[in-house]
Amino acid sequence: MDMADLREGTRVLDLATGTGDLAFLASAGTRSVVALDVTWRMLELAAAKRRAHVPLFVSGDMGELPFRDASFDVITTGYGIRNVPDLGRALDEIARVVRPGGQFLSLDFDRPENSFVRGLYLGYLTIVGSTLGLLLHGDPDTYRYIPASLRAYPGSRHVARMLQERGFDRTDVIPVLGGFMAIHRAYKIEA
């Protein structure tokens, strides 16, 4: 959230907000925050946290955002774009609702390009996810969606190209944890 450089009056949209962690962080920097998630129960859990500055919670689909064109200065998501059924459609919508000169920030797992490293990484995530799911929730399948979603995910470099095709420039991919995760930081071209 520090990368967003939020100021009072900055309009922020946090996509796939889940329990609202990024939205609450954004709310500390600006009071104009909308937190969207497709799952109503996640929004209920987020709203129950009750922080000093509460974002507006909206149930909606990232592939069909219920907002006017150029409505937001900053759009964030944590572990969101990897999970959408139609990545291209979601990026089209992000490009539509961010204002020219605005920015998009996304943190997510990455898909290593090297097939050997990717196989080890996916195996590790499967074992660790199954173990954590069993220990924390009594269900080894709880986190198995992560490696499954990474198998279909095109990877951070491809997502950066997709953002550029949709009118974003200065599209950076910032590796995290040795490249097993990545932050996308992209600015919409000013008209």
The alpha carbon of residue 86 and the mean position of all alpha carbons in its chain are separated, in whole angstroms, by: 14
Helices (H) and strands (E) in the chain, counts: 6, 7
Q: Is the pLDDT of residue 149 over 80?
A: yes
pLDDT of residue 158: 95
* 106, two tokens: 């996304």
* 98, two tokens: 């961010």
Instruction: Judge if 183 and 107 occupy the same domain.
Output: yes
CATH of the domain at 165: 3.40.50.150
* 139, two tokens: 């269900």
Instruction: Judge if 64 and 138 occupy the same domain.
Output: no
pLDDT of residue 58: 95
pLDDT of residue 29: 84
Instruction: Judge if 147 and 174 occupy the same domain.
Output: no
In the chain, the amino acid numbered 91 is L
In degrees, rounded to 5, the angle at the alpha carbon of residue 155 between the alpha carbons of residues 185 and 40 is 75
Instruction: Judge if 92 and 30 occupy the same domain.
Output: yes
Q: State mean pLDDT over 169-185.
A: 92
pLDDT of residue 170: 87
pLDDT of residue 19: 92
* 178, two tokens: 């040795």
Distance from C-alpha of 161 to C-alpha of 4, rounded to nearest angstrom? 21
pLDDT of residue 102: 96
What is the tens place of the pLDDT at every residue in 7-47?
Answer: 889 999 999 999 999 999 999 888 899 999 999 999 999 98
Distance from C-alpha of 116 to C-alpha of 149, rounded to nearest angstrom? 18
Distance from C-alpha of 162 to C-alpha of 159, rounded to nearest angstrom? 5
Instruction: Judge if 24 and 53 occupy the same domain.
Output: yes
* Residue whose C-alpha is closest to residue 83's, from 26, 5, 16: 16
Instruction: Judge if 59 and 131 occupy the same domain.
Output: no
Distance from C-alpha of 70 to C-alpha of 96, rounded to nearest angstrom? 6
DSSP readout, 8-28?
Answer: TT-EEEEET-TT-HHHHHHHH
Distance from C-alpha of 90 to C-alpha of 18, rounded to nearest angstrom? 17
DSSP 3-state assignment of 35? strand
Of 89 and 55, more confident: 89
Q: How does residue 52 score in pLDDT terms, banded at 50, 70 and 90? A: low
Domain count, the chain: 2
State the CB neighbour count (10 A cutoff) for residue 94.
Answer: 26
H-helix or E-strand spanning residue 185: strand 181-188
pLDDT of residue 175: 93
What is the tens place of the pLDDT at every residue in 125-148?
Answer: 899 988 998 998 888 888 888 888
Q: State mean pLDDT over 46-51.
A: 82
Instruction: Judge if 117 and 64 occupy the same domain.
Output: no
Of 59 and 148, more confident: 59
Instruction: Judge if 147 and 160 occupy the same domain.
Output: no
Q: What rounded mean pLDDT belongs to the chain? A: 92
Give how far Cα 59 sits from Cα of 54, 125, 153, Å.
Answer: 15, 29, 24
pLDDT of residue 6: 92
What is the tens place of the pLDDT at every residue in 61-106?
Answer: 999 999 999 999 999 999 999 999 999 999 999 999 999 999 999 9
Q: How does residue 107 score in pLDDT terms, banded at 50, 70 and 90? A: very high
Q: Please give the residue range of the domain that contains residue 102.
A: 2-111+154-188
